Structure 1
């Protein structure tokens, strides 16, 4: 092989190597651009959402998950826990965020206040919630105070509750004491089991009393009412807040900005809950709502 030919081959090899490097650089730049303001690789865009298995939080957390995945390119891990561990998970950093803080009454004293310096509160994501003792409207009863009357026997002195440790369960135990509901018991179950018991009694027009809250699909599907709470044990109207672990803003700025801008209405949440109740999967119900509310979703991710 002569010298001229060797030089030409060497130059050709150098040119090919340079083109390969340029292509890799372009790929990395495009990947960095698509990963958000941090410029971190897309593979690092992973986040863990903590939630409790209440119908309201199943709806909201699945909507947040779908936006993070489909709009922002995140891998999302779902961590289902009870209320106490949900707060502790955000406080100790084992979870990144949750959109299920019912404040100021339901979660305030037991979960929020003891940990408030260990996470960041991004504020209200839904306004106008309520919790309390709930009965079908066909029942001739209007106040918690009435539970000391003749109605008690027909209800078997039983309030059907949800998961032990939930804020509404703590409040109901307190209500039993405050209203001196002697011989009454609070039955622990789950939100799904509570709703099923309510549906069965409602279908037969039988007396039933449960721990209820809005937004919830059961208020859309049945004619229900809250019992008046003159001692204000359950508090008034509440809000649901978004909480994130300390440091999330620096580690995952795209997710942080979206979570900070996430807000919707009770009607929005109920639409997702009703679809799930009627048989749509949680994921598909979230996708359906997002597709139907593009303008609202675009505001959530504006600036990312």
Structure 2
């Protein structure tokens, strides 16, 4: 009997240890936009410092939302609301937990270099030929691209073509145009490192196609609060200013930069801010 009890106890302990190890695994989904890279790396390094085994999974925006809704991912910190990701949230809101904003004062729209003689989205109707009637966009599933299609309809810009691509291809096209002092219109958002590197201006949006000020939000799978309360608490506390995020984004664009290393260095230099996340 003693041997049986010992075996049972050992089996129970082994199962408990396995469950504990599994509880320490966290999967963070994110989109490979420069702001999401910064925020997700900061959160990842914070959780690692608490002993968690963190996986960062890059996905398109729609797949990121779906991964959290199905529980394949535990959380993400790249939900633009109330407008940009409204369609995703409306579809999946019963399957996820909206924890709340981690960055305030965000916005989306179209931008041009400061030297370009355009002030409004409306100007493309008469001046679209100056940019070959093109607006350089990002990945086709992004809410920004949906808003851009809406702007084309709202402003009756039937001759303007929205060019699909990615954050990287859009910023590469912007750099090339600026180097040549040529006009260009790009889809963009704040926070973004491009505003720290170049003198840019948003085109006014009098019809409100791109919505107003937004926040970037943290979203978790439904059962995270009960299954991983410490992780959930850190997610709830996690917040970063626009200024801090854009500075880190710019650092990440330097040649050979390591976003994880930059996140660690920022955390070491800002212990009080990190302490607020883990209190």
TM-score (normalised: structure 1): 0.84
For the residues of structure 1 that align with 2:177 and 2:266, how far apart are their CA atoms? 31
The aligned counterpart of 2:28 is: 49
Deviation of 1:42 after TM superposition, in Å, equals: 4.7
The aligned counterpart of 2:44 is: 65
Rg larger for: 1
The aligned counterpart of 1:206 is: 182
Stretches of structure 1 lacking an aligned partner (at least 5 in a row):
1-27
The aligned counterpart of 1:294 is: 271
For the residues of structure 1 that align with 2:264 and 2:90, how far apart are their CA atoms? 34
Deviations 1:32-85 (A, max 9, x none): 9xx9xxxx7355300100000101101110111111112x11001111111111
Alignment map for 1:268-287 (pairs within 5 Å)? 268-279=244-255, 280-287=257-264
1:261 aligns with 2:237: yes
For the residues of structure 1 that align with 2:233 and 2:158, how far apart are their CA atoms? 50
The aligned counterpart of 2:93 is: 116
Alignment map for 1:36-185 (pairs within 5 Å)? 41-42=20-21, 44-70=23-49, 72-108=50-86, 110-149=87-126, 151-185=127-161
Deviations 1:146-199 (A, max 9, x none): 1011x2112000000000110000000111111010211000000011011101
The aligned counterpart of 1:16 is: none
For the residues of structure 1 that align with 2:34 and 2:169, how far apart are their CA atoms? 12
Question: Contact between 1:45 and 1:75, CA under 8 Å: does it hold in 2?
Answer: yes
The aligned counterpart of 2:8 is: none
Stretches of structure 2 lacking an aligned partner (at least 5 in a row):
1-12
For the residues of structure 2 that align with 1:166 and 1:138, how far apart are their CA atoms? 28
SS at match of 1:101: strand
For the residues of structure 1 that align with 2:143 and 2:20, how far apart are their CA atoms? 40
Deviations 1:230-289 (A, max 9, x none): 110101110011000011111111111100110111011112111111132111111111
CA-based RMSD: 1.6
For the residues of structure 2 that align with 1:250 and 1:159, how far apart are their CA atoms? 45
SS at match of 2:43: helix
Question: Contact between 1:42 and 1:73, CA under 8 Å: does it hold in 2?
Answer: no
Deviation of 1:217 after TM superposition, in Å, equals: 0.5
SS at match of 1:241: strand
For the residues of structure 2 that align with 1:188 and 1:292, how far apart are their CA atoms? 38
